């Protein structure tokens, strides 16, 4: 087992940050098409928000259990809430799981997936600004914001077809609130990880948030359709995505500046489009010239933000 100094040095290596963050984004990107597949397998209508919230609650409850089991195996001890962690777990669950997904599912029912992807990418800016300006966790440089703007341009470009400027409070407005909740959760996760195990925090916040979402879904009249091996399989995979990706993201945030990690969030919609093309046969948007340029812009933006600041 590495001591804390060795672990810090290892987690701050560029190759570890890039590979770890890209793995997280790949997993999160795969969730977009897999959620659609899950709705079909569980017979959930695209406009049935209550059942979608119930589905999300089951996913995150299972994700929390998986995170605790995997984390306990890696640590060779059972991960349990440490002293003083209960309030932080509750706060993280309300931000990252409950608020983010409640606003996201309701907002998505009143806007297009294209605009939702673009608005979701705003969380990178919010996370960096909150981290630097509100909590003073790092200094924000002009180079970082330029890199973010270039990456954001790539996200807009890959979603360019079908974009309009019509806005609804319960549509695009709710998606923006979802994005803000997620950005704040990333900053608080880094802050709390200074004293607590980030995998423990991730696991228990998923369990608490999942239970809250399940209760909300049931109270709103949500129901799950026919149970099958495929339906259970996709639910387990989505739980695995959340357990692994969010726990790994938390570890990266613990040992690195928020800006260095958050900027990789621009890859989520890129992976989402590419994997949707493969899994949902939506090839028209994924493999055109715009997509190639978009991916290049996102990669350039990530490189600029992560480039060593030699002049500051």
Position 65 in a domain: yes
Domain of residue 252 covers 4-140+165-257
Q: What are phi and psi of 291, to 5 degrees?
A: -70, -40
Lowest-confidence segment of 42-56, 89-103, 124-138 by average pLDDT: 124-138
Write down the pTM of the prediction: 0.82
What are the Cα distances from residue 25, in Å, to 39, 161, 270, 272?
22, 23, 9, 9
**pLDDT band for position 213 (cuts 50, 70, 90):** very high
Residue 95 lies in a domain: yes
Average confidence (pLDDT) over 19-42: 88
Is 145 part of a structural domain of the chain? no
Cβ neighbours of residue 196 closer than 8 Å, sequence gap 6 or more: 82, 85, 88
Residue 142 has pLDDT above 60, yes or no: yes
Confidence label for 165 from pLDDT (cuts 50, 70 and 90): low
Summarised one tens digit per residue, pLDDT across range 289-301 is 666 777 677 778 7
Burial tier of 169 (Cβ tally within 10 Å: 0-12, 13-18, 19+): exposed
Q: Total structural domains in the chain?
A: 1
Mean pLDDT of the chain: 83
Residue 221 counted as domain residue:
yes
Identify whether 276 is part of a domain.
Answer: no
For residues 271 and 29, the answer to whether their CB atoms sit within 8 Å is yes
Tokens of 184: 């704040």
Read off φ and ψ for residue 114, nearest 5 degrees: -65, -55
Give the C-alpha separation, 44 to 102, whole Å: 16
Question: Does 116 map to a domain?
Answer: yes
**Does residue 157 belong to any structural domain of this protein?**
no
Helix 142-158 / helix 113-120 crossing angle, nearest 10 deg: 170
Tell me how far apart the alpha carbons of residues 254 and 237 are, in angstroms, rounded to a whole number.
26
Residue 62 lies in a domain: yes
221-267: pLDDT as tens digits: 999 888 899 999 999 999 999 999 999 999 999 999 888 888 888 78
């Amino acid at each position: 087992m590495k001591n804390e100094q060795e672990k810090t040095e290892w987690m701050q290596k560029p190759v570890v940050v890039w590979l770890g963050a890209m793995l997280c984004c790949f997993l999160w990107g795969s969730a977009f098409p897999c959620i659609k597949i899950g709705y079909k397998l569980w017979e959930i209508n695209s406009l049935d928000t209550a059942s979608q919230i119930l589905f999300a609650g089951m996913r995150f409850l299972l994700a929390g259990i998986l995170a605790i089991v995997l984390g306990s195996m890696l640590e060779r001890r059972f991960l349990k809430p440490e002293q003083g962690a209960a309030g932080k777990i509750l706060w993280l669950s309300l931000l990252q799981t409950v608020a983010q997904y409640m606003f996201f599912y309701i907002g998505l029912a009143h806007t297009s997936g294209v605009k939702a992807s673009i608005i979701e990418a705003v969380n990178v800016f919010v996370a960096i600004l909150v981290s630097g300006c509100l909590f003073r966790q790092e200094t924000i440089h002009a180079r970082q914001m330029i890199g973010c703007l270039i990456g954001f341009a790539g996200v807009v470009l890959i979603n360019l077809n079908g974009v309009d400027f019509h806005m609804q409070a319960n549509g695009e407005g709710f998606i923006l609130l979802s994005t803000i909740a997620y950005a704040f959760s990333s900053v608080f996760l880094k802050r709390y990880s200074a004293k607590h195990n980030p995998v423990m925090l991730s696991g228990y916040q998923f369990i608490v948030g999942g239970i809250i979402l399940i209760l909300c879904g049931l109270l709103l009249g949500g129901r799950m359709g026919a149970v099958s091996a495929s339906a259970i399989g996709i639910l387990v995979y989505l739980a695995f995505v959340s357990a692994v990706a969010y726990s790994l993201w938390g570890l990266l945030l613990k040992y690195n500046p928020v800006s260095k990690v958050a900027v990789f969030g621009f890859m989520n919609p890129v992976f989402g489009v590419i994997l949707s093309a493969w899994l949902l046969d939506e090839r028209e948007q994924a493999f055109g010239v715009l997509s190639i340029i978009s991916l290049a812009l996102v990669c350039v933006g990530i490189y600029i933000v992560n480039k060593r600041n030699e002049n500051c």
